[in-house]
Amino acid sequence: MSAKKTERLLNLVICLLATRRFLTVQQIRQAVPGYDGGSEEAFRRMFERDKEELRELGVPLETGTDARAHDDEVGYRIARGDYELPEVVLEPDEAAALGLAARLWQSAPLAGATGSALLKLQAAGIDVQPVSGALEPRVAASEPAFAPCLAAARDAQPVRFLYRTSYRPEPEERRVEPWGVVSWHGRWYLVGHDAVRGASRVFRLSRVVGDVVPDGPAGTVVVPEGVQLRAMVADLAGEPVRQTAVVRVRPGTCWALRAEATATLPDPAGAGWDALELGFADPERLADRVTGFGADAVVVSPPEARDAVVRRLQAAAAHEEGVPA
Amino acid sequence: MTRETAELPRLLALVPYLLARPGVPFAEAAAVFGVSVERLRKDLDLLWVCGLPGHGPGDLIDIAFEGDTITLFEPAGVTRPLRLTSDEALALVVALRALAETPGLEERDALDRALVKVEGVAGAAAEAAKRVEVAVEGEERVLPVVEQALREGRRLHLRYHVPGRDETTERDVDPLRLALVDGRPYLEAWCRRAEGVRTFRLDRVAAVEVLDLPAEPPPGLPERDLSQGLFQPSPTDELVVLALRPGAHWVADHYPAEQVDDAGDGTLVVRLRTPDTGWVCRLALRLGDSATVLAPEGLATAVRAQARRALEAYAGS
């Protein structure tokens, strides 16, 4: 932005804030330096662009007609109450808490939005600085799909994108009415209604391939009452417990399994070993948790869980050196 | 803050900022706005010629300089900053809420109060914040003890489980900071046993105790930059190469890989570096026929040996 243009826009804001009456474009042209000179047409084009720019910055331009005006030509003003940040006072510990929260975002666009928000609060007289301290909160959003999905959820706008899954070789198109975005264990997810499947779905943003494009007008997505975004992502990550497995573990090992066990009993079959009871739904998911412990954890029952682990161990034992199986 | 804001928003904030702080030093104002002192002087030159319609001497923004300080007398009606945009409100509200909802954090009360005030100031702009959630797992058992030790500058004793080696260790550490990364709390500390900076995931701390000793980490430890993630493999770490078939492609996403190549037949070849290959061995067992260790050879041999030992345990039970 050139200094001339910045000067003109600042004078325009000052002028429209100062007026109580709606000012017509001709009155604005006379009052604001930078609009004089040039043709009427050039001025109109310039004013249209300036209005657009102010609206993008969140300046609330009000349009209307003045009751005392001779004709009903539309005029402009800025209502001070809509423009100004309301009065607020933060206690020192609240300002410190805000400074802490302000360090959370690591990436665009939210890191930038945090910076400009803090400037406004500082301009309101609040002393808040994003200083580093003993507590360091960090949330990254490096997925390229993050910014467009965030904007779509914010603007209630349907989107479509290509999505990669582990069970299909090629990415498939998804059409989604976004309900929200959720960060869970450091990964971002889009939650929404999948228009093709006709059901709610959770998408991991790192699996979105290429661009996220609008698939309908903004403001058309209706988020169902009482939808629990975080719970939907957590349900995807977790699994409902439907069965109990018994797993023998060597003494002093398998800390992670012990931490998850619903019961720990001395193992009748082996001296010093313990028998853990672990809840699970799918034998393959249980094998995910147990197989890595090798000979330190042995599934006793049920047989399908035992078989799932044994199959993986047989495959791992059979890999030839340096040659994919 | 070092980010340079666009000019008009900066100037619209600068006027009320100066109005609220008569006599603010140039350097301080420049630092807050993330610009050079030279840039700030240009901003002030511009403000100087702006003002109310008429633009006579009494209508313009009026600023006085005394030594290194700035005092703004006449704001030409720009007495308050502009309201928060919905992105600005969203960034603050979601961040405050995520931390305020983190179990065990001692700042929760202040975060809650700040959240209520920011939501009040944002008004309708805070609506969009409902569309974004950040889950941070707290830790009510260990986290308050770690915060206490940091606050009081005291040493901690930890019983800590090292998952890669499946061992429980005992050690004294001098806490440096508490980091909330990837939605989980971690303690970064000088480990007196390892004589190095170590990172401890709090849900793997089996027991913690504040010792009656001051924390004495060596002076001048460089602060690690966490923006690239918590685990920053060193180029001197061992290089591991894995071949992943479709069922194991998630591994390329999940662990910090140095390089991922598509071998073309549905196999991804992933190269990653790690100081300790114990966890890779466990991972390879778990992945069964959907992954193969291509290098180092010792690791591939270890995976096969471990798998055979485990199969013997199954055969005998």
pLDDT of residue A63: 93
pLDDT of residue A241: 67
Residue B3 — very low, low, confident or very high, per pLDDT cuts 50/70/90? very low
Judge whether B310 is closer than 8 Å to chain A, CB to CB. Answer: yes
Residues 6+ apart with CB under 8 A from A57: B8, B9, B82, B85
**Could you give the domains of chain A?**
3-83 (1.10.10), 87-139 (no CATH), 146-237 (2.30.30), 243-318 (no CATH)
How far is the first Cα of chain B from the last one, in angstroms, to the nearest whole number?
Answer: 63
Q: Kindly compute the dihedral angle of the four CA atoms of residues B99, B100, B102, B106, in this order, to the nearest 10 degrees.
A: 100
What is the chain A residue with the closest CA to B298?
A321
> How many CB pairs (< 8 A) connect A and B?
377
pLDDT of residue B167: 82
Closest to B111 (Cβ–Cβ): which among A97, A234, A248?
A97
Judge whether A236 is closer than 8 Å to chain B, CB to CB. Answer: no
Q: Give the tens place of pLDDT for each residue, B26-54.
A: 999 999 998 999 999 999 999 999 999 88
Q: What is the pLDDT along chain A (325 residues), one digit of tens a residue?
A: 577 899 999 999 999 999 999 999 999 999 999 998 789 999 999 999 999 999 999 999 999 987 766 667 889 999 999 999 999 999 999 999 999 999 999 888 899 999 999 999 999 999 887 666 788 888 888 889 999 999 999 999 999 999 987 667 788 999 999 999 999 988 899 999 999 889 999 999 988 999 999 999 999 999 998 889 988 888 776 656 678 899 999 888 888 888 888 888 887 777 778 899 988 888 888 999 999 999 999 999 899 999 999 999 999 998 765 444 4
Closest to A120 (Cβ–Cβ): which among B7, B13, B284?
B13
How far away is chain A from the Cα of B236, in angstroms, using its nearest Cα? Answer: 23
Residue B231 — very low, low, confident or very high, per pLDDT cuts 50/70/90? low
pLDDT of residue B4: 41
Instruction: Tell me the residue type at B298.
Output: G
Q: Do A138 and B227 touch (CB under 8 A)?
A: yes
Q: Do A134 and B284 touch (CB under 8 A)?
A: no
Q: A245 - beta bridge partners?
A: A278
Which of A146, A288, A312, A320 to substitute to test the interface with B, most B CBs within 10 Å? A312
For residue B206, pLDDT over 60 is answered with yes
CB B95 within 8 A of CB A102: yes
Token pair for residue B82?
């502009």
Angle subtended by helix axes B86-100 and A146-155, to nearest 10: 100
- Residue count of chain A: 325
CB A28 within 8 A of CB A47: yes
How far away is chain B from the Cα of A41, in angstroms, using its nearest Cα? Answer: 23
Query: Which value does ipTM take for this structure?
Result: 0.83
All residues of chain A having their beta carbon less than 8 Å from the beta carbon of residue B105 are: 135
Instruction: Tell me the residue type at A134.
Output: A
Closest to B247 (Cβ–Cβ): which among A85, A166, A306?
A166
pLDDT of residue A272: 77
Question: What's A139's DSSP letter?
Answer: B
Interface of B with A in 194-233 (CB under 8 A): 204, 206, 223, 226-227, 229
Strand, coil or helix: B33: helix
Full-model pTM: 0.82
Q: Do B53 and A118 touch (CB under 8 A)?
A: no
* B170/B188 Cα distance (integer angstroms): 16
pLDDT of residue B226: 65
Judge whether B165 is closer than 8 Å to chain A, CB to CB. Answer: no
All residues of chain A having their beta carbon less than 8 Å from the beta carbon of residue B99 are: 97, 100-101, 104, 137
Provide, rounded to the nearest whole percent, the portion of chain B with pLDDT above 90: 60
How far away is chain A from the Cα of B25, in angstroms, using its nearest Cα? Answer: 15
What is the chain A residue with the closest CA to B267?
A324
Closest to B180 (Cβ–Cβ): which among A109, A122, A137?
A137
* B191/B175 Cα distance (integer angstroms): 8
Higher-pLDDT residue of B44 and B275 is B44
pLDDT of residue B183: 85
Q: Do B110 and A130 touch (CB under 8 A)?
A: no
For residue B122, pLDDT over 90 is answered with yes
What is the rounded average pLDDT of the residues B97-108?
A: 90
Q: Do A291 and B180 touch (CB under 8 A)?
A: no
Higher-pLDDT residue of A240 and B168 is B168
Interface of A with B in 298-317 (CB under 8 A): 298, 300, 306, 309-317
Q: Is the dihedral of CA A282, A285, A231, B129 positive or negative?
A: negative
Strand, coil or helix: A269: coil
Residues 6+ apart with CB under 8 A from A62: A22, A76, A77, A78, A79, A82
Strand, coil or helix: B66: strand
Least confident range from A127-141, B217-231, B242-256: namely B217-231
pLDDT of residue B73: 93
What is the chain B residue with the closest CA to A92?
B110
CB A54 within 8 A of CB A6: no
Closest to A255 (Cβ–Cβ): which among B33, B89, B168?
B168
Q: Do B163 and A255 touch (CB under 8 A)?
A: yes
Cis upstream peptide for B296 (omega within 30°): yes
What is the rounded average pLDDT of the residues B49-64?
A: 90
CB B211 within 8 A of CB B156: yes
Closest to A186 (Cβ–Cβ): which among B88, B182, B247?
B182
Q: Do A10 and B11 touch (CB under 8 A)?
A: yes
Least confident range from A22-31, A196-205, B123-132, B134-143: namely B134-143
